[in-house]
């Protein structure tokens, strides 16, 4: 018969077995359970290109931390502020040299290596933000950028470009009422826009973003471009320039791109590659949306702070567009074929985009 005594004996045996297992009991000779091999953690270093207060740096850091979190710590991406590991604007070179495995920077900071980089940057006559990102993601833009970088141990991919809203045309100490006011203007202006404005008579200089505020204080420059309305408000530029001029003519978008070390990325397991792609896509788009929203608010903040906000005179816009057309026609004819390939691809997509809207 199945008595209560027998039932109690069975329960005692079951409890004893459970305790034996939980305490590390095993059938093997040494009484030890097999342990899974620990997963080796991969560590990347990544740098933004600006000061800590720049939203681009902030979103770069958010992206790095999100990759680390999403990977469960298997891929730790350590974020660094622009200039803290390598000089600002040398981030892509640092990836090539293996000092960094990732960075977030403006393509135009690499004109010394690839003249065509200025096309996928804050350029006069370029694509507006939404069109630029869709061209990059679906119109072959990312592939063309990789083709441009050639044998460099650097790569990008769709989703890695954050277009951002149009840049402020200029913050200035002097009024810009006609084309004559451009001539002799000491201005910080980067990339192709700087070369084109130089043709128009401006005395353009290259100054890292973190040094612009002080350059205005010291009267080293009269005017400057930097980024979007929202970004520039957070940089406190209202304290050094009484006038702000708006126009999409010089830079209809302010794109920045995530770049990664090709060998380091290809060495990742497929699931970590997907995490890197997905988080970069997520945060590059998030920064764009954030700055579109914040720029709407920031323009009112500039006005409340006493800044005089103007539209750029049409005379200046027309002259800039004409100079840009001539500039890119010349460059397309004399640079490596990739220059014309990128320029014509963007131009064709821009025409199709405009016709569909």
User: 257 and 232, same structural domain?
Assistant: no
Count the domains in the chain: 2
Q: Rounded to whole angstroms, how far apart are CA atoms 115 and 11?
A: 79
Q: 82-114 pLDDT, tens per residue? A: 999 999 889 999 999 999 999 999 998 999 999
Q: What is the pLDDT of residue 35?
A: 54
Q: What is the pLDDT of residue 211?
A: 93
Comparing 13 with 185, the larger pLDDT belongs to 185
Tokens read off for 114: 């690839």
For residue 209, the enclosing domain spans 168-252+308-355
pLDDT over 60 at 202, yes or no = yes
Q: What is the pLDDT of residue 38?
A: 64
User: 133 and 87, same structural domain?
Assistant: yes
User: Where does the pLDDT of residue 11 fall: very low under 50, low under 70, confident under 90, or very high at 90 and above?
Assistant: very low
User: 132 and 76, same structural domain?
Assistant: yes
**Which residues touch 36 (CB under 8 Å, ≥6 apart)?**
none
CATH number for the domain harbouring residue 213: 3.40.190.10
User: 91 and 148, same structural domain?
Assistant: yes
CATH number for the domain harbouring residue 99: 3.40.190.170
User: 227 and 177, same structural domain?
Assistant: yes
Q: Is 30 within a domain?
A: no
Q: Is 110 within a domain?
A: yes
Q: What is the pLDDT of residue 50?
A: 84
Q: Is 288 within a domain?
A: yes
User: Where does the pLDDT of residue 330 fall: very low under 50, low under 70, confident under 90, or very high at 90 and above?
Assistant: very high
Residue bearing tokens 């065509």: 116
User: 156 and 257, same structural domain?
Assistant: yes
Percentage of the residues of the chain whose pLDDT score is greater than 90: 80
pLDDT over 60 at 13, yes or no = no
Q: Rounded to whole angstroms, how far apart are CA atoms 210 and 208?
A: 6
Of 102, 121, 97, 90, nearest in space to 60 by CA:
102
Comparing 9 with 266, the larger pLDDT belongs to 266
pLDDT over 80 at 264, yes or no = yes
User: 214 and 86, same structural domain?
Assistant: no
pLDDT over 50 at 335, yes or no = yes
Instruction: Give me the mean pLDDT over the 240-253 stretch.
Output: 95
What's phi and psi for 173, nearest 5 deg? -90, -15
Q: Is 11 within a domain?
A: no
User: Where does the pLDDT of residue 37 fall: very low under 50, low under 70, confident under 90, or very high at 90 and above?
Assistant: low
Q: 21-33 pLDDT, tens per residue? A: 444 444 444 444 4
Q: Is 21 within a domain?
A: no
Give me the chain's average pLDDT, please: 90
User: Where does the pLDDT of residue 36 fall: very low under 50, low under 70, confident under 90, or very high at 90 and above?
Assistant: low
Residues of 45-77 as b/e, b for ≥16 C-beta within 10 angstroms? bbbbbbbeebbbbbbbbbbbbbbbebbeebbbb
Burial of 114 (0-12, 13-18, 19+ CB in 10 A): buried
User: 330 and 200, same structural domain?
Assistant: yes
Q: What is the pLDDT of residue 34?
A: 46
């Amino acid at each position: 018969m199945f008595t209560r005594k027998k039932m109690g004996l069975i329960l005692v045996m079951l409890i004893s077995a459970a305790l034996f297992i939980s305490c590390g009991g095993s059938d093997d000779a040494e009484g030890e359970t097999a342990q899974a091999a620990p997963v080796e953690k991969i560590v990347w270093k990544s740098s933004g290109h600006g000061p800590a207060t720049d939203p681009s740096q902030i979103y770069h850091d958010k992206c790095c931390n999100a990759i680390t979190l999403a990977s469960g710590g298997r891929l730790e991406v350590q974020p660094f502020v622009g200039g803290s590991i390598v000089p600002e604007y040398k981030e892509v070179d640092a990836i090539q040299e293996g000092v960094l495995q990732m960075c977030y920077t403006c393509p135009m900071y690499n004109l010394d290596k690839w003249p065509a980089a200025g096309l996928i940057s804050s350029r006069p006559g370029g694509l507006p933000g939404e069109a630029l990102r869709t061209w990059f993601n679906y119109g072959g833009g990312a592939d063309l950028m990789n083709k441009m970088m050639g044998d460099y141990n650097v790569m990008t991919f769709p989703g890695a470009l954050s277009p951002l809203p149009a840049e402020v045309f200029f913050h200035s100490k002097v009024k810009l009422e006609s084309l004559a006011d451009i001539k002799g203007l000491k201005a910080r202006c980067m990339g192709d826009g700087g070369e084109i404005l130089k043709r128009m008579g401006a005395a353009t200089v290259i100054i890292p973003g973190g040094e612009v505020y002080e350059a205005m204080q010291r009267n080293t420059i009269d005017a400057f471009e930097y980024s979007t309305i929202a970004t520039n408000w957070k940089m406190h530029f209202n304290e050094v320039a009484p006038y702000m001029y708006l126009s999409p003519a010089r830079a209809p978008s302010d794109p920045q791109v995530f770049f990664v070390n090709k060998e380091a990325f290809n060495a990742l397991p497929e699931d970590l590659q997907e995490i890197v792609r997905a988080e970069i896509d997520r945060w590059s788009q998030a920064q764009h949306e954030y700055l579109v929203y914040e720029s709407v608010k920031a323009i009112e903040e500039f006005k409340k702070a006493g800044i005089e906000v103007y539209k750029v005179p049409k005379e200046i816009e027309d002259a800039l567009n004409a100079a840009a057309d001539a500039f890119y026609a010349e460059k397309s004819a004399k640079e490596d074929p990739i220059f014309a390939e990128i320029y014509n691809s963007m131009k064709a997509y821009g025409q199709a985009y405009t016709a569909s809207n």
